[in-house]
Amino acid sequence: VSIPLFLLMAALTVASALTVIVHPSPIYSALGLVSTLFMLAVLFLGLDAQMVAVLQIIVYAGAIVVLFLFVIMFLGVDRREAAGPEATKFQKPLALILGVVALIEILILSGVTKWVSGQHSTAGALDGPGENVQKLGQSIYTRYLLPFEMTAALLVIAVVSAVVLSRRQQPSASELSSAEQEHLDSTEREPQ
């Protein structure tokens, strides 16, 4: 990636990220998030991460942000943040100071150059033979097979928990099968 392109992308990324955190309307925040994610996908392309860039667009910008937008639409688009009393006094200035301090800390830490242990990776080289997708897939399905299966379990748990969380507390009798109705009756008879 040439330097002007990087600078343009970096400026757009930071500008969209700022839109996310300062805009009062959640819709604009979500659109700022989409924009940030697209800019990051371009930067990933420049870093020889074609597969990650595609995943970024499909999964993040395509699925996760649509989920955000869906919930925003579900709850009401024109809802603004309530200007009620803050739980903590001076929360915003304090938060700004904390954010700047965190940023400076990270920048100082990244100046420390003793990050690399000198050990060679067991996951495979980035510039080896084959396409990026092939190398990434080979790495995930061999070296990272156990974490991969754990993420599958995690996704199942997340889906089940989302269903449980969004169920109504007392389903009406017409929604239940007779077996469920009997189960509900028997559990209600038991003392809590």
Partner 1 sequence: VTVPGAWYLVLAAVLFGVGATGLLIRRNVLIMFMCVELMLNAVNLTFVTFARLLNDIGGQASVFFVLVVAAAEVVVGLAIIVAMFRRRAAATADDIHALKG
- Residues 72-91 binding partner 1 (CB under 8 A) are 72, 74-75, 81-82, 84, 86-87, 91
Q: Please identify, using beta-carbon distances, which residue of 117 and 177 lies nearer to partner 1.
A: 117
26 binds partner 1 (CB under 8 A): yes
Binding part of the chain for partner 1, among 105-113, 175-183, 184-192 by CB under 8 A, reads 105-113
Name residue 116's amino acid: V
Contact between 17 and partner 1 by CB under 8 A: the answer reads yes
> Does 1 interact with partner 1 (rule: CB under 8 A)?
yes
The correct pick among 78, 90, 110, 189 for binding partner 1 (CB under 8 A) is 110
Question: CA 85, CA 46: separation in Å to the nearest integer?
Answer: 46
The answer to the question of residue 44 lying near partner 1 (CB under 8 A) is yes
Query: Computed from CA positions of residues 92, 93, 96, 102, in that sequence, does the dihedral angle turn out positive or negative?
Result: negative
> 73: which 2 tokens?
């639409």
Least CB distance to partner 1 at residue 41 (A): 10
In the block, which residue shows the tokens 């998030």? Answer: 33
Q: Which of residues 123-142 bind partner 1 (CB under 8 A)?
A: 123-128, 132, 135-136, 139-140
Q: In whole angstroms, how close is the CB of 182 to partner 1 at the nearest point?
A: 25
Report the distance separating Cα 99 and Cα 106, nearest Å: 11
Structure tokens at 162: 């989302």
Select the span of 154-162, 172-180, 183-191 touching partner 1 (CB under 8 A).
154-162
By CB atoms closer than 10 A (0-12, 13-18, 19+), residue 33 is buried
